[in-house]
Structure 1
Amino acid sequence: MEIALREVHDSDLPVFFRQMNDPEAVRMAAFTPKDPADRDAFDALWKRIRASDAVARTVLADGDVVGSAAVYGEPGEREVTYWVDRAYWGRGVATSALRALVTEVPERPLYARVAADNEGSLRVLEKCGFRATARARGFANARREEIDEVVLTLRG
């Protein structure tokens, strides 16, 4: 399977919206918008992302849109985020996409936050060179409770 990143196109947004409304994926991601089904809020978020200095990319698998990946935030505090359609979990898509993204964005350090029980995302981040540097607790909208999270850092 060939994994590639490209600029986000308007036609990608309905696919992202559908992916971000998969109940199992939302629960696993944990830190999601209050109401993932709010299309107006989703559109406003992507409008802000695309107008900012974030590096936002569409993830393609053999040419099909299967997710998104981005680096966002203030210099010195920039974070990575990614979302891959659940049908592609466990197939190396997220790892390949994140590797490509961190190669494209040479700025360091980069940070990531992940629910402590999201073993798949922890593995993806570690395979891409991120290392756990802190633990925290945060309110997870998708679970409607405070949960443990791991903060990871990619240096040099």
Structure 2
Amino acid sequence: MDVVLREVHDSDLPVFFRQMNDPEALRMAAFTAKDPADRAAFDDRWRRIRASDAVTRTILADGDVVGSAAVYGEPGEREVTYWVDRAYWGRGVATAALRALLAEVPERPLYARAAADNTGSRRVLEKCGFRETARATGYAPARGEEIDEVVLNLPG
């Protein structure tokens, strides 16, 4: 499968909105928007993201929009995030996309967070060189409760 990143286009946003409303994906991601079905809030959030200094990319697999990946935050505290359509889980898409993003953004250190029970996302991060550095708890809107999360670091 050919996985590439490109700039986010307006036409990608309806696809992202649909992907980010998949109940199983929401549960796995855990730390999501308070109300993922609120399209106005989604659009506002993406306007802010696209106007910021975040490096935000659309993930394409064999030419199809399958998700997004980004590096955001303050220098020295920047984090990576990604979202891949559930139909593509377990096929190496997230790993390939994150590797491409890390090649595009050489800044280090970078950080990531994941629900402690999200073994797929943790595996992707570890394949890309991230290592667990801490554990925390936080409120996960998609689950409606406090859950454990891992904090990972990709050193310089």
TM-score (norm 1): 1.00
Task: Specify the alignment match of 1:21 in structure 2.
Answer: 21
Letter in 2 for 1:49: I
CA distances 1:75-118 after superposition (whole Å, capped 9, x unpaired): 00000000000000000000000000011000000000000000
Query: Which ranges of structure 2 fall in alignment gaps of 5 or more residues?
Result: none
Q: What's the Cα RMSD here?
A: 0.3
Tell me the distance in 1 between the aligned counterparts of 2:77 and 2:49.
16
- Displacement of 1:128 in angstroms is 0.3
Q: Write the letter of the residue equivalent to 2:81.
A: T
CA distance in 1, matches of 2:139, 2:102: 27
Distance across 1 between alignment mates of 2:13 and 2:72: 18
The equivalent residue for 2:109 is 109
What corresponds to 2:47 in structure 1? Answer: 47
Distance 1:13 1:79 in 2: 21
The whole-number CA distance in structure 2 between the counterparts of 1:71 and 1:86 is 21
Find out whether 1:139 has 2:139 as its counterpart: yes
Shift of 1:43: 0.3
Aligned AA (2:8): V
> Counterparts of 1:79 and 1:111 in 2: how far apart (Å)?
4
Structure 1 unaligned runs (5+)?
none
Query: 1:52 Cα shift?
Result: 0.2
Which residue identity is paired with 1:89? Answer: W
Instruction: Quote the Cα distance in structure 1 between the aligned partners of 2:44 and 2:73.
Output: 17
Q: CA deviation at 1:151?
A: 0.1
| % identity of equivalent residues | 85
- Provide the C-alpha distance between the structure 1 equivalents of 2:32 and 2:73, rounded to a whole number of angstroms: 17
Alignment match, 1:67: 67
SS in 2 for 1:42: helix
**How many residues get paired?**
156
Structure 1 counterpart of 2:80:
80
Paired residue for 2:2?
A: 2
Offset, 1:26: 0.2
Q: What is the CA–CA distance in structure 1 between the aligned matches of 2:49 and 2:109, rounded to whole Å?
A: 20
